């Protein structure tokens, strides 16, 4: 029995174990969605916006390490996928996007809704192809899947509206033949060169990213042997934050003084599985050894003395026997850890809901919290206390990520994803949907900015219709908080960042979710506990302080001066100055 093009695609995905496709239905996709409807072992999840569907697919791919699939119909439907697909591409997530197209006979004639998908996805996709004949199937599907998986990126397969229901004459089963990832390490001379560089250092610091996650034991052994403080990237929190006597948190704008000092004061930096992009935060006059599986990452951000292309775990297992411990290095580690402990104590004090009732807190509140709003640090800390040890966290780009990075610990088997390479708004809620569909029995907590949530608010209805027990924690500061902070640090008065928000909890209730609104610090802890314990989906709307300042790890004089000037301008009468 022959099958249609659509059925060949859907059967191939089901055989591959994809299990679920995310998207918005539309005319060009009708043959495909109908094939999903009638095929076992694969389900359809309909979204209200294709961007949310693409974010959800990217989240599923990041968490599982396996192929995820989203769909968008002809023209605008495919365009809407683009932002979520960019996020997947920059996160190295294998995602297949199946896009509709105008009828084959109309292509190139400026037909209604026609968009050049090859041009549209050229920058984001590792593979692009348009099915122009049924005889190309399943070959094009196999090529698209292999490209997404082996290239750890996005593949786009376009299906014109009049081809999906055409029969494939020479039908055969799909054969993907996906290779197992190779585990490689550098050759012995390169390792010896790296060992010689490291041996010359007396103050060694490790900068550890997500690419080292599978090498926890080897990384900890390196830190022990070298008495090295371990600075984590945001994506390195997962896997290295729990039970780690060498960890000193993050560097960069979201980081802390201890991590900044560990970087600036070292004479040797070892980068493990990270492509940390912020050049201003790297040390100067420092020897650098970098280990990464991707050769193009070596020396891309900062010049390195030795670049080792290979798996972090395999490379360290070969390198560690070449290194000798140097006890005198311990002062560097001890100093960094002491600074980190002091900073953590200060953060814990600020996160205490009673902070503004104490003397120093009352003085500070006169300047930065006159309305006695809830401090966002207190909200993040409360979520950390009450969330499960196997919770999956997502976070919106901006201040929500800052508070998560500083106050939420990735203990146990917690997972963390966000738009940490693309830096998109509105990612946390749809990524939480993808996470919950991937792990229906685990707690999923989204740290949502009010700006981000408002941008894709419609997919709260997807949470309701799919009956997903997602917990949405909204940092409702009525601002585009990170933009406000950037303006003020540059000496500009706040402009265009104020948000006229609804009562998000009431909106959630109207849509069939449990809504909880918190306006007073004394209500916070119990509200968070209740929100995380209630069965089913919950939106926790917490009115947080819009004037809260996240001080970077090493604030500059220009930033402080700019902030002071901005505050003066903000308090001038309208039209003055």
Non-local CB neighbours of 415 within 8 Å, separated by 6+ positions? 63, 238, 391, 392, 393, 435
Instruction: Enter the DSSP assignment of 498.
Output: B
For residue 392, the SS3 value is: strand
pLDDT tens-place string over residues 425-448: 999 999 999 999 999 999 999 999
User: Torsion-angle region of residue 4: left (phi > 0), alpha (psi -120 to 50) or beta?
Assistant: beta
Q: 408 to each of 79, 251, 313, 344, how far by Cα in Å?
A: 35, 16, 27, 12
Residue 326 pLDDT: 67
How far is residue 270's CA from residue 277's CA, in Å, rounded to a whole number?
15
pLDDT at 551: 75
pLDDT at 372 over 90: no
How far apart CA 367 and CA 346 sit, in angstroms, is 18
**Phi-psi category of 127—alpha, beta or left, where left has phi over 0 and alpha has psi -120 to 50?**
beta
> Beta-strand (E) ranges in 27-172?
43-46, 68-72, 95-101, 125-130, 154-160, 167-168
Model confidence band, residue 558 (pLDDT cutoffs 50, 70, 90): low
Q: Please choose, from the candidates 32, 49, 164, the residue with its C-alpha nearest in 3D space to the C-alpha of residue 458.
A: 49
* CA 272 – CA 251 distance, rounded (Å): 15
Residues in Cβ contact with 452 at an 8 Å cutoff, skipping those fewer than 6 apart? 396, 397, 398, 400, 425, 426, 427, 428, 429
pLDDT of residue 550: 78
Q: Across-strand partners of 474?
A: 448, 541
> Does the pLDDT of residue 266 top 80, yes or no?
yes
Nearest-angstrom CA–CA distance, 307 and 290: 5
Residue the block writes with tokens 């698209």:
144
Instruction: Examine the pLDDT at 556 and tell me if it is beyond 80.
Output: no
Q: Which domains does the chain carry?
A: 3-168 (3.40.50.970), 188-340 (3.40.50.1220), 352-570 (3.40.50.970)
| Most confident by average pLDDT, 322-331, 372-381, 432-441 | 432-441
Res 563: pLDDT: 45
- Asked if the model's pLDDT at residue 376 lies above 70, the reply is yes
- The answer to whether the CB of 89 falls within 8 A of the CB of 70 is no
pTM of the model: 0.94
Rounded to whole angstroms, how far apart are CA atoms 25 and 14? Answer: 19
More confident residue, 128 or 487: 128
Average pLDDT over residues 352-377: 80
The pLDDT of residue 359: 67
């Amino acid at each position: 029995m022959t099958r249609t093009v659509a059925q060949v695609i859907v059967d191939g995905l089901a055989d591959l174990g994809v299990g679920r496709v995310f998207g918005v239905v539309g005319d060009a996709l009708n043959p495909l969605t109908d094939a999903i409807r009638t095929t076992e072992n694969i389900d359809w999840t309909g979204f209200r916006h294709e961007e949310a569907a693409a974010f959800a697919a990217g989240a599923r791919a990041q968490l599982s390490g396996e192929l995820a699939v989203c769909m968008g119909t002809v023209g605008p439907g495919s365009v809407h996928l683009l932002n979520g697909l960019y996020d997947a591409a920059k996160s190295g997530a294998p995602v297949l996007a199946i896009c509709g197209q105008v009828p084959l006979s109309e292509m190139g004639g400026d037909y209604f809704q026609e968009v050049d998908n090859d041009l549209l996805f050229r920058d984001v996709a590792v593979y692009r192809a348009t099915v122009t004949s049924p005889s190309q199937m399943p070959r094009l599907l196999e090529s698209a899947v292999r490209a997404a998986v082996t290239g750890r990126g996005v593949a786009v397969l376009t299906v014109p509206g009049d081809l999906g229901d055409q029969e494939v004459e020479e039908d055969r089963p799909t054969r993907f033949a996906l290779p197992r990832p190779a585990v490689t390490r550098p050759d012995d001379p390169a390792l010896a060169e790296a060992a010689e560089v490291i041996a010359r250092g007396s103050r060694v610091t490790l900068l550890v990213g997500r690419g080292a996650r599978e090498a926890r034991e080897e990384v900890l052994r390196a830190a022990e042997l070298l008495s090295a403080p371990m600075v984590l990237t945001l994506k390195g929190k997962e896997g290295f934050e729990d039970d780690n006597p060498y960890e000193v948190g993050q560097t960069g704008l979201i980081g802390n003084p201890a991590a900044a000092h560990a970087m600036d004061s070292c004479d040797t930096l070892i980068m493990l599985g990270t492509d940390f992009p912020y050049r201003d935060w790297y040390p100067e006059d420092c020897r650098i050894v970098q280990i990464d599986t991707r050769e193009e990452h070596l020396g891309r951000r900062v010049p390195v003395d030795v670049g080792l292309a290979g798996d972090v775990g395999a490379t360290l297992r070969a390198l560690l026997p070449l290194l000798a411990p140097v006890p005198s290095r311990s002062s560097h580690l001890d100093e960094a850890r002491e600074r980190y402990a002091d900073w953590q104590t200060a953060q814990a004090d600020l996160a205490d809901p009673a902070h503004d009732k104490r003397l120093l807190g009352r003085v500070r509140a006169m300047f930065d919290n006159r309305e006695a709003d809830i401090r966002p640090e207190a909200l993040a800390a409360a979520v950390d206390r009450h969330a499960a040890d196997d919770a999956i966290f997502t976070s919106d780009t901006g201040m929500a990520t800052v508070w998560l990075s500083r106050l939420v610990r990735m203990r146990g088997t917690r997972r963390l994803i966000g738009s940490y390479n693309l830096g998109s708004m509105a990612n946390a809620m749809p990524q939480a949907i993808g996470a919950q569909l991937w792990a229906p029995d685990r707690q999923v907590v989204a740290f949502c900015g009010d700006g981000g949530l408002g941008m894709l608010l419609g997919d709260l209805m997807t949470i309701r219709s799919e009956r997903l027990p997602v917990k949405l924690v909204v940092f409702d500061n009525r601002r585009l908080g990170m933009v406000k902070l950037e303006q003020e640090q540059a000496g500009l008065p706040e402009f265009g960042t104020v948000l006229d928000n609804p009562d998000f909890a009431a909106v959630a209730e109207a849509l069939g979710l449990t809504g909880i609104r918190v306006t007073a610090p004394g209500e916070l802890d119990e509200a968070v506990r209740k929100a995380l314990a209630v069965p089913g989906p919950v939106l926790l709307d917490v009115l947080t302080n819009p004037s809260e300042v996240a001080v970077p790890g090493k604030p500059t004089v220009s930033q402080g001066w700019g902030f002071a000037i901005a505050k003066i301008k903000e308090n001038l009468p309208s039209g003055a100055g």
